[in-house]
Amino acid sequence: MAPLPFSNLPMHEVGAVVLPLARAAIGRALGIAAECDEAAPWLQEPGACFVTLRYADALRGCVGTLKPHRSLLDDIKMNAVASALHDDRFIPLQAKEWPTTRVEVSLVSQLEPMSFLDEAEALLQFRRGTDGVVFESGLRRSTFLPQVWESLPEPREFLAQLKRKAGLPVNFWADDVKLSRYTVQKFVEE
């Protein structure tokens, strides 16, 4: 896998840039004045991320991209706003919720296609707590970030719920199933 553009930096320095960037983008979208430093040169490199929001320790939004198609700066800002206002699972975030909403930014590595002959062989390749997984079959597609292993620690159940998320039965399997994995560098506000 190709190294991420910030991989030579201390991770606390990366977090000190990406978390305020996501928070400021959402704040501005909610009409709350917010400034942050957008000058880090590595933010101009192509990148992919997920922005997750938690309010009262419950998921409040999560939107992201798996493949770089714009600068990391733009990806963070656009996914942050989409997570707050356009995640179809939730009503848009309200300004009154914003001060106590916690932001999480997960910077996504390059996707790595997995090779397997059947579901059993695929399950043996899952790295619990490490892999984010993309499931594809026909036009159906879903993904779970590595953080989902915390609530679905068994590979069989992890894959079953990926299938369900894609709109398929949990026992579904077909010859056209494709799986890819990725890792993330996760940054969470205190």
- Tell me the CATH number for domain 112-182: 3.30.1490.150
Question: According to the model, what pLDDT value does residue 2 have?
Answer: 56
Query: What share of the chain has pLDDT > 90, as a percent?
Result: 90
Question: According to the model, what pLDDT value does residue 78 have?
Answer: 98
Average pLDDT for 46-58: 95
> Count of CB atoms within 10 A of residue 61's CB?
27
Question: According to the model, what pLDDT value does residue 190 have?
Answer: 84
pLDDT over threshold 70, residue 1: no
Q: What does pTM read for this prediction?
A: 0.91
CA 159, distance to chain mean position in Å, is 17
pLDDT over threshold 80, residue 7: no
Question: According to the model, what pLDDT value does residue 120 have?
Answer: 97
User: Comparing 11-108 with 112-182, is the CATH topology the same?
Assistant: no
Which strands, in side-by-side order, build the sheet including 101-108?
58-64, 49-55, 101-108, 184-188
Average pLDDT for 11-37: 93
Average pLDDT for 44-60: 95
DSSP collapsed to 3 states, the chain: CCCCCCCCCCHHHHHHHHHHHHHHHHHHHCCCCCCCCCCCHHHHCECCEEEEEEECCEEEEEEECCCCCCEHHHHHHHHHHHHHHCCCCCCCCCCCCHHHEEEEEEEECCCEECCCCCHHHHHHHCCCCCCEEEEEECCEEEEECHHHHHCCCCHHHHHHHHHHHCCCCCCCCCCCCEEEEECEEEEECC
Helix, strand or coil for residue 145? coil
Evaluate whether 144 touches 152 at the Cβ level (below 8 Å).
yes
Question: According to the model, what pLDDT value does residue 107 have?
Answer: 96
Question: According to the model, what pLDDT value does residue 12 have?
Answer: 82
- Tell me the CATH number for domain 11-108: 3.30.700.20
CA 181 – CA 190 distance, rounded (Å): 28
Q: pLDDT tens, 128-187? A: 999 999 999 999 999 999 999 999 999 999 999 999 999 999 999 999 999 999 999 999
Confidence class for position 90, pLDDT limits 50, 70, 90: very high
For the chain, the structural domain boundaries read 11-108, 112-182
Average pLDDT for 112-118: 97
